[in-house]
Amino acid sequence: MLERVLLITLLVSFGVAVILSPLFIPFLRRLKFGQSIREEGPESHQKKSGTPTMGGIVIVLSIIATTLFVSFQYLSFSMEILLLLLVTVGFGLVGFLDDYIKVVKKRNLGLTSKQKLAGQLIIAGLFYWGLLHLGISTEIMIPATTISINLGWLYLPLVIVMLVGASNAVNLTDGLDGLLAGTGAIAFGAFAILAWYADLIDVAIFSAAIVGAVLGFLVFNAHPAKVFMGDTGSLALGGAIAAIAILTKQELLLVLIGGVFVIETLSVIIQVISFKTRGKRVFKMSPLHHHYELSGWSEWRVVVTFWMVGMILAVLGIYLEVWM
């Protein structure tokens, strides 16, 4: 029965995204919600200027509609679903404001870093308050072992770091056509399996809804992209994957399953530190996907390679939790 519900969830979410995308793309184009391409980026990206952005609205709407439909049709609306929607919609709203300022107000940087962080912290605080009402354990499990560590009050900063860090890491990964949609589908698919294995039905359903939504969006976001998800989608997905990892008690495993996002973030950190301390760049450009582009790889080759790396890390994460 559960397998059937998961399949229905994925298909419904995929269908909603595929139906909504062709309706939103012309609408976004008419509103002139086009992507501005930064001048210091790869020259080949300049032709993408004007491509409709803020397509993450489609992803978020698909997730909401599907989750609510499946919850009321087959399950019951739970606190876990409420918290997951809170984080996804909340971070998506922060991203929407960022996109709106960039595109409509013509401020290339969008929200200031302090404004964005403030929004993320408020949502993270509300999420943690919900966790307290759920009575969730403050222990974290060491993958592939039976060892657990009780963090006590230190669990709060961990939750905040995970939500804020994951949302920004996923945001950095959204730089090539289909890159984030593909790696996101893989990572959320892995967590759907882990939630199902742990008998966390609601979390598994929500994860499957996200897989369907991003795959439906990928139909229009694959190279050459007809629409970009923008910060609306990337921040929402980043917050969601951290929230799912917390609810499944796989906080540390997120680093492995979301390894592509971690690597992309590390490449930026390494680049900044190296340039400030030595005056030299380690990579031709960061995040890492741009380094490979400037090294002569085609955009599609970079994307597929990162998908494959994401798949290997996801399978390894599932193996460590389920079979070790």
In this model, does residue 40 exceed pLDDT 60? Answer: no
Taking the C-alpha atoms of residue 276 and residue 229, their distance in angstroms, rounded to an integer, is: 32
- Arithmetic mean of pLDDT, 298-322: 95
In this model, does residue 110 exceed pLDDT 80? Answer: no
This prediction's pTM: 0.93
Report the run of H or E that residue 141 belongs to, with start and end: strand 139-141
- pLDDT, one tens digit per residue, over 182-221 is 999 999 999 999 999 999 999 999 999 999 999 999 999 9
**Which token pair is 56?**
């993450």
Q: Is 201 helix (H, G, I), strand (E, B) or coil?
A: helix
Taking the C-alpha atoms of residue 63 and residue 84, their distance in angstroms, rounded to an integer, is: 10
Rounded to the nearest 5°, which phi and psi values hold at 150? -90, 115
- Residue 174: predicted pLDDT: 94
- pLDDT, one tens digit per residue, over 155-166 is 999 999 999 999
Report the run of H or E that residue 140 belongs to, with start and end: strand 139-141
Cis peptide bond N-terminal to 52, omega within 30: no
Rounded to the nearest 5°, which phi and psi values hold at 140? -120, 145
Count of alpha carbons within 13 angstroms of residue 4, beta-carbon side: 4
Burial class (CB in 10 A: 0-12, 13-18, 19+), 222: middle
Is the separation of the CB atoms in 240 and 84 below 8 Å? yes
- Residue 39: predicted pLDDT: 52
Instruction: Please report which confidence band the pLDDT of residue 144 belongs to, taking 50, 70 and 90 as the band edges.
Output: confident
In this model, does residue 46 exceed pLDDT 90? Answer: no
In this model, does residue 225 exceed pLDDT 80? Answer: yes
- pLDDT-wise least confident of 44-48, 194-198, 220-224: 44-48
- DSSP states along 274-297: HHHHHS--SSSSSSHHHHHHHTT-
In this model, does residue 34 exceed pLDDT 80? Answer: no
Is the separation of the CB atoms in 249 and 212 below 8 Å? no
